[in-house]
Chains A and B, each alone.
Chain A
């Protein structure tokens, strides 16, 4: 049985027992998310920071979302080959060159070796999108265009009136793009996650439950 159904049946049996005797226990806990299955009851069961973010199927517009795919500019000049000419390629393997450190980690973009991993979503594999350097946030170390995990590329990949938004760590670093939808318990961390204590409270996408939720977003990892 799915966890949610077992929970309901278990509650019914306990209610019956309560008519005879007092006292009962439920060790499985509410909103059990066993086997990674989507937890339809989690919104009602989570209880933490039940903000006014989502209700009646209306998703507030997030501060960041992707109405359309974007093209990123190069962040670094294109490297040249050992002879000083254009460093052409058909794949990233061609850019390994003679294994000198300067050629480590290069990508093949439009048949030229480049430091950036991508210029557009088409340069990234399935399930990833191109995050432009200017949108990466989080600081100024290794600030290149990079392919990041994505459950959506643009807003229209999500449901009607839903939005494709970046998930950021407490440092501001983007970890991926995910849909904001009716199962979320937050959109704006300032108003929706005020109940949390401690540093790092944020509205984050939690793949463990499959929706956006108030949580502690750490800077590291």
Chain B
């Protein structure tokens, strides 16, 4: 009996293809070849990676995942339905209609992500392509509060949503729900994409204008208590708290462009990167918790997003190019900064809160705290926008403003007065400091 592998793939998908291949080879008694992408199929592999990646197993970020991720028991998130709904970006031109973009009208063009039938390696180009699609089309979290922002271009802009003729409105999509309704949802690109210096939308660049807190407060029917409302107002543009139920621990939207170089994930170094699977697991569980733990993404989507994010590094300037702009600055950097921002990743081991001296709120958090802050990779820092984990410094220049640790400093974002911590470089001679700034602004 001959088996037509192509027919089986069309009819039964990956499971059938695997079976067909096995049967066609006559069921060799040899051990099967190692799975090139164990994240997709091997729960014990995923569990081991998760356990190895958690820096503080005692914080609630960790305990939640230890209780539900690849456990093999009745509480395993693997038992959640896989979710890949039909979705479509909201087009910019829709904002020009009377009443703005309709939040519940889904066109015939809406479709689920097309998933590859198989993945041959973690570097499979199909993975990166899938990730690029998912970055701007997979609904990561329902966002009914943004319906108000769809009333017009000015309404969208007032909440910091970018508007692009090609990519649409702030990375928002409409998605078909299982009950037949249509919901507005965020995608990764809502927070993690923004116009670059030349106006084109740069994937991975944080949207430091996005004001989700204000959108939630302004949503029809919003009825938050006064304390929570005040906390959300304090987020301001470019920041949000995705961890607590009180909104009191906002962090700036991180720059995802240098993720390839990161050895720790999240501002408070919650996760150590064991291998690229760590990021895929982080993305997978983020989507699960962002959807209230009721659905999970196709695992190949999470892997694709991780592969795509790793590919964004190619667009960043090289340190060599930055050194050509400012040779003196490169020399100062090598002498003063590489203790923490070591080449080639321009990052390093997390730094204890007491040493870095910046606002410790996030680092002490019961949700994600580790007692340390991640050392950000400086790849891309020149175009990153607000700096520090809480986004309180507007630029590289402000970071090295010798007045910023004094009460008279007027450049602080999300507050006023001094910005404490990371005092490295503040006492450099003026010439060296200027050269260092020039070098970093070229990265």
**Chain A interface residues (CB < 8 Å from chain B):** 6, 9-10, 13-14, 16-17, 20-21, 23-39, 42, 45-50, 117, 127, 131, 136-143, 146-149, 151, 170-175, 178, 195-200, 204, 206-210, 213-221
Contact = CB atoms under 8 A, between A and B. Distances in A.
A50 B74 CA distance: 9
B144 interface: yes
B15 A10 contact: yes
A35 B294 contact: no
A9 B23 contact: no
25 contacts: A20-B27, A25-B15, A25-B35, A28-B82, A29-B81, A29-B298, A32-B81, A33-B83, A33-B85, A34-B83, A37-B178, A38-B179, A42-B81, A127-B181, A136-B221, A141-B224, A148-B220, A151-B181, A206-B291, A207-B142, A207-B178, A208-B81, A208-B83, A209-B83, A221-B145
Contact of A147 (B77, B79, B144, B220): B220
Contacts of A13: 12, 15-16, 19
Contacts of B82: 28-34
Nearest to A30: B79
B145 A20 contact: no
Contacts of B83: 33-34, 208-209
Contacts of A199: 60, 245
B13 A141 contact: no
A35 B245 contact: no
B223 A36 contact: no
Contact of A46 (B80, B84, B141): B80
Residue of A46, A48, A197, A208 with highest tally of chain B CB at under 10 A: A208
Interface in B31-68: 32, 35, 40-41, 60, 63-64, 67-68
A217 B292 contact: yes
Contacts of A35: 84-86, 111-112, 176
The 8 closest A-B pairs by CB, nearest first: A139-B225, A47-B79, A210-B178, A36-B176, A207-B177, A146-B221, A215-B292, A210-B179
B246 interface: yes
B79 A48 contact: yes
Interface in B150-190: 175-181, 183
A47 B74 contact: yes
A48 B74 contact: yes
A48 B144 contact: no
Contact of B19 (A24, A27, A148, A178): A24
Contacts of B27: 20-21
Given A17-B19, A23-B32, A219 B221 contact: no
Interface stretch (B226-234, B402-410, B424-432): B226-234
Contacts of B177: 36, 207-208, 210
B222 interface: yes
A200 B178 CA distance: 23
A37 B229 CA distance: 36
Nearest to B111: A35
From A117, A200, A209, residue with most partner B Cβ within 10 Å: A209
A146 to B, nearest CB: 4
A35 B296 CA distance: 14
Given A31-B81, A198-B63, A215-B292, A139 B226 contact: yes
B60 to A, nearest CB: 6
Contacts of B86: 35-36
A27 B41 contact: yes
A56 to B, nearest CB: 21
B175 to A, nearest CB: 7
Contacts of A209: 81, 83, 178, 294-295
A140 B225 contact: yes
A169 B217 CA distance: 14
A36 B64 contact: no
A116 B125 CA distance: 54
A214 B59 CA distance: 22
B379 to A, nearest CB: 31
B438 interface: no
B12 A9 contact: yes
Contact of B143 (A16, A216, A221): A221
Contacts of B124: none
Contacts of B294: 204, 206, 208-209, 213, 215
A33 B181 CA distance: 15
A48 B141 contact: no
Interface string B202-218: 00000000001000110
A216 B292 CA distance: 5
A171 B15 contact: no
B359 interface: no
Contacts of A175: 144, 221
Contacts of B112: 34-36
Contact of B81 (A33, A127, A178): A33
A216 B11 CA distance: 36
Highest count of chain B CB atoms <10 Å: which of A50, A146, A220: A220
B273 interface: no
A141 to B, nearest CB: 5
Contact of B183 (A21, A151, A178, A207): A207
Contact of A141 (B16, B19, B226): B226
B126 interface: no
A198 B14 contact: no
Interface in B280-322: 289, 291-296, 298-300
B363 interface: no
B228 A171 contact: yes
A32 to B, nearest CB: 5
Contacts of A6: 12-13
Given A33-B83, A35-B176, A139 B245 contact: no
